[in-house]
């Protein structure tokens, strides 16, 4: 029995050595499969990172608009009631909007927001806060009729709608990029 195993082991080694093409092809095939799998895993990691960044950007966009609305609510409460406590949330909301805006554009290379979109959004947010600050200044200067007239002109509402539209466009562009990433995988 022992000899039979030895003979079988010797015969299989002799067969493999007798076919040098197979001796070279097998390791080459294993290396090729390994490289192919590595490429697949790299695409999976890239798609996962893209999903993560896009999800984070979506959350940031929602938080940005939420904080902008908090600032608007604080301003409106003060304009209507002239109770300074309403403004306790105004500056923290402004800071939160600035933070969310900065985080919204976090990304690397192709995952960054287009500079033109960043500039438009920054300009709209700055204009919205200038408009709210101007209304507050009129109320503080005891010119409530001028503040109400400015609010009634609707510039603040128009700015808010444009900001929301820009954020929706960012979300839609990211959804498109995600679909492209998935189809490439």
What are the structural domain ranges in the chain?
A: 47-184
User: What gap in Å lies between CA 134 and CA 156, rounded to an integer?
Assistant: 11
> What is each CA distance from 63 to 46, 97, 99, 150, 151, in whole angstroms?
25, 8, 10, 27, 24
Query: 40: pLDDT confidence band, cut at 50, 70 and 90?
Result: confident
What is the CB neighbour count within 10 angstroms for residue 64?
22
Indicate the CATH number for domain 47-184: 1.20.120.1730
How many helices and strands (H and E) does the chain possess?
A: 6, 0
Query: 53: pLDDT confidence band, cut at 50, 70 and 90?
Result: confident
Query: 27: pLDDT confidence band, cut at 50, 70 and 90?
Result: confident
Q: What is the pTM of this model?
A: 0.73
């Amino acid at each position: 029995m022992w000899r039979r195993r030895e003979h079988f082991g010797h015969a299989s080694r002799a067969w493999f050595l007798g076919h040098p093409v197979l001796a070279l092809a097998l390791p080459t095939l294993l290396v090729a499969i390994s490289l192919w799998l590595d490429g697949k895993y790299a695409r999976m990691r890239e798609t996962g990172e893209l999903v993560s960044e896009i999800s984070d950007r979506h959350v940031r966009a929602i938080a940005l608009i939420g904080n902008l609305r908090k600032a608007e609510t604080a301003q409106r409460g003060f304009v209507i009631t002239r109770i300074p406590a309403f403004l306790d949330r105004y500056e923290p909301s402004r800071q939160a909007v600035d933070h969310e805006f900065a985080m919204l554009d976090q990304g690397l290379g192709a995952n960054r927001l287009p500079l033109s979109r960043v500039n438009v959004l920054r300009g709209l947010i700055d204009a919205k806060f200038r408009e709210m600050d101007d209304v507050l200044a009129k109320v503080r200067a005891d010119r409530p009729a001028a503040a109400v007239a400015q609010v009634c002109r609707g510039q603040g509402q128009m700015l808010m709608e444009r900001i929301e539209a820009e954020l929706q466009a960012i979300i839609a562009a990211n959804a498109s990029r995600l679909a492209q990433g998935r189809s490439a995988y």
